[in-house]
């Protein structure tokens, strides 16, 4: 049965991908999760009305048409995007924000141009340190705060793409048509949609979306003094079976995905006895930088009863996915093994 997106709010539009669509390496555009702080533009802007401005700490400010960007050398890269708040609802202790389960993540093959090439053309000044992105979406709410985010210059130069294509199609309106930023391996908040202005700064951009949110803080702590959410955490998810599913005994195909942001997943192990023993899962499908790995584990189960399944990823640096995630007020970065456990009933 085909499931619909799980819509958490209409205004702004926030919806997560149902598990069944997380079982393929490519997440189809139609079911790719959507996360918005503001109002999605109502209709695609005519390309003749659109331009990209690059200004700030540069010797040569630029205003580029879509055609000029389209004619530049094209890069094609895979990249898994995860919303910073994905899995927030799976924390035992409540955290504030959209109640994502595991579907605030997706993988796509993106076509576009390297941000580095545009920044090189604009001739960066010596005091350039951060790159701020601004989209065309209109803020919601009376404060009218624009979603402007900046990333460090090193990230902008080493591994950031401006994408106009998603899985072989023009970037869909929902996902930022005609152009979006992608800080590869970093959370969605660093990937501004409907991009139309890039400002090179001598320091991080200051504003609500930089200083008050996308920070990992505890109660009573000033968000601005806390860690900024950047790279996607090492994590694995079980996409089949689903929570509380009833299954017959025999051979059960356990499916899942594992991802590590800028790092690389090396191994996934599975437990079907609530963490007592662990078995290696087998990777299936493509293996590309910045993209998740799909995995499977064939579980032979003979006795009926309740079973708790868990998966745990290790990256090539030897880092292990934590058994429990670090809680923070806004519930970012939940990558705990236990928080993602799936309990099933085996019947006859």
Ligand X SMILES: Nc1nc2c(c(=O)[nH]1)N[C@H]1C(S)=C(S)[C@@H](COP(=O)(O)O)O[C@H]1N2
Q: Which residues of the shown chain bind ligand X in the complex (CB under 6 A)?
A: 32-38, 81, 83, 135, 137, 147, 175, 188-189, 191-194
Q: Which two tokens stand for residue 324?
A: 């429990």
In the list ligand X, Mo ion, none, the entry touching 32 (Cβ below 5 to 8 angstroms by class) is ligand X
In the list ligand X, Mo ion, none, the entry touching 36 (Cβ below 5 to 8 angstroms by class) is ligand X
Q: Which is nearer to ligand X, 209 or 278 (CB)?
A: 209
Peptide bond just before 178 cis, omega within 30 deg: yes
Q: Which is nearer to Mo ion, 22 or 252 (CB)?
A: 22
CA dist., res. 324 & res. 310, Å (int)? 12
The distance of closest approach from Cβ of residue 84 to Mo ion in the complex, given in angstroms and rounded to an integer, is 5
The distance of closest approach from Cβ of residue 81 to Mo ion in the complex, given in angstroms and rounded to an integer, is 9
- Are the C-beta atoms of 330 and 323 separated by less than 8 Å? no
Q: In the complex, which residues of this chain contact Mo ion (CB under 5 A)?
A: 35, 83-84, 188-189
In the list Mo ion, ligand X, none, the entry touching 135 (Cβ below 5 to 8 angstroms by class) is ligand X
Q: Which is nearer to Mo ion, 106 or 112 (CB)?
A: 106
- Are the C-beta atoms of 148 and 209 separated by less than 8 Å? yes
C-alpha pair distances (Å), 25 with each of 186, 203, 259, 283, 293: 18, 37, 11, 11, 7
The distance of closest approach from Cβ of residue 275 to Mo ion in the complex, given in angstroms and rounded to an integer, is 30
CA dist., res. 186 & res. 287, Å (int)? 18
The Cα diameter of the chain in Å comes to 72
Name 71's Cβ contacts closer than 8 Å, sequence gap at least 6. none
Residue with tokens 């997943």: 265
Q: Which is nearer to ligand X, 180 or 264 (CB)?
A: 180
C-alpha pair distances (Å), 63 with each of 136, 157, 214: 16, 19, 30
In the list ligand X, Mo ion, none, the entry touching 15 (Cβ below 5 to 8 angstroms by class) is none
CA dist., res. 95 & res. 85, Å (int)? 9
The distance of closest approach from Cβ of residue 335 to Mo ion in the complex, given in angstroms and rounded to an integer, is 15
Closest CB to ligand X: residue number: 188
The distance of closest approach from Cβ of residue 147 to ligand X in the complex, given in angstroms and rounded to an integer, is 4
CA dist., res. 285 & res. 7, Å (int)? 29
Q: Which is nearer to ligand X, 111 or 188 (CB)?
A: 188
The distance of closest approach from Cβ of residue 290 to Mo ion in the complex, given in angstroms and rounded to an integer, is 17
Strand partners, 16: 6
- Are the C-beta atoms of 195 and 160 separated by less than 8 Å? no
Q: Which is nearer to ligand X, 194 or 259 (CB)?
A: 194
Q: In what order do the strands lie in the sheet with 282-284?
A: 235-240, 250-259, 293-301, 282-284
In the list Mo ion, ligand X, none, the entry touching 193 (Cβ below 5 to 8 angstroms by class) is ligand X
Closest CB to Mo ion: residue number: 83
In the list Mo ion, ligand X, none, the entry touching 239 (Cβ below 5 to 8 angstroms by class) is none
Q: Which is nearer to ligand X, 188 or 241 (CB)?
A: 188
The distance of closest approach from Cβ of residue 214 to ligand X in the complex, given in angstroms and rounded to an integer, is 8
In the list ligand X, Mo ion, none, the entry touching 192 (Cβ below 5 to 8 angstroms by class) is ligand X
In the list ligand X, Mo ion, none, the entry touching 329 (Cβ below 5 to 8 angstroms by class) is none
Residue 329, CB-side half-sphere exposure with 13 Å CA sphere: 14
Torsion on CA atoms 27, 295, 91, 193, rounded to nearest 10: -20
C-alpha pair distances (Å), 342 with each of 5, 96, 309: 21, 23, 5
Q: Which is nearer to ligand X, 135 or 241 (CB)?
A: 135
The distance of closest approach from Cβ of residue 188 to ligand X in the complex, given in angstroms and rounded to an integer, is 2
Q: Which is nearer to Mo ion, 189 or 192 (CB)?
A: 189
In the list ligand X, Mo ion, none, the entry touching 217 (Cβ below 5 to 8 angstroms by class) is none
The distance of closest approach from Cβ of residue 48 to Mo ion in the complex, given in angstroms and rounded to an integer, is 31
CA dist., res. 87 & res. 322, Å (int)? 14
């Amino acid at each position: 049965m085909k499931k619909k997106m799980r819509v958490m709010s209409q205004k702004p539009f926030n919806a997560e991908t149902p598990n069944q669509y997380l079982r393929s390496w490519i997440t189809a555009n139609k079911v790719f999760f959507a996360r918005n702080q503001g109002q999605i533009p109502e209709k695609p802007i005519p390309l003749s009305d659109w331009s990209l401005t690059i200004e700030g700490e540069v010797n040569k400010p630029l205003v580029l048409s879509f055609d000029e960007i389209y004619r530049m050398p094209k890069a094609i890269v895979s990249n898994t995007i995860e919303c910073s708040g994905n899995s927030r609802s799976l924390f035992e202790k409540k955290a504030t924000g959209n109640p994502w389960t595991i579907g605030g993540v997706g993988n796509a093959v993106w076509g576009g141009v390297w941000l580095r090439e545009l920044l090189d053309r604009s001739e960066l000044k010596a005091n350039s340190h951060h790159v701020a992105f601004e989209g065309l979406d209109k803020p919601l709410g009376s404060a009218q705060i624009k979603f402007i985010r900046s990333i460090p210059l090193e990230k902008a130069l080493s591994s950031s793409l401006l994408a106009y294509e998603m899985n072989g199609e023009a970037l869909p309106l929902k996902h930022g048509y005609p152009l979006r930023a992608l800080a590869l391996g970093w959370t969605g908040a660093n990937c501004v949609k409907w991009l139309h202005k890039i400002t090179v700064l001598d320091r991080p951009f200051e504003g609500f979306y930089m200083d008050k949110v996308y920070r990992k803080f505890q109660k009573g702590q000033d968000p601005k003094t806390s860690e900024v959410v950047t790279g996607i955490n090492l994590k694995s998810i079980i996409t089949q079976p689903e929570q509380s599913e009833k299954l017959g005994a025999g051979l059960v195909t356990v499916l899942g995905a594992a991802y590590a942001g800028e790092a690389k997943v090396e191994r996934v192990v599975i437990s079907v006895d609530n963490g007592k023993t662990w078995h290696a899962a087998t990777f299936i499908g493509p293996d590309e930088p910045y993209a998740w790995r799909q995995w499977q584990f064939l579980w032979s189960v003979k006795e009926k009863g309740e079973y708790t399944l868990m998966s745990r990823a290790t990256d090539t640096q030897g880092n292990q996915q934590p058994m429990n995630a670090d809680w923070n007020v806004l519930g970012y970065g939940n990558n705990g093994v236990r928080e993602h456990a799936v309990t099933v009933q085996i019947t006859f």
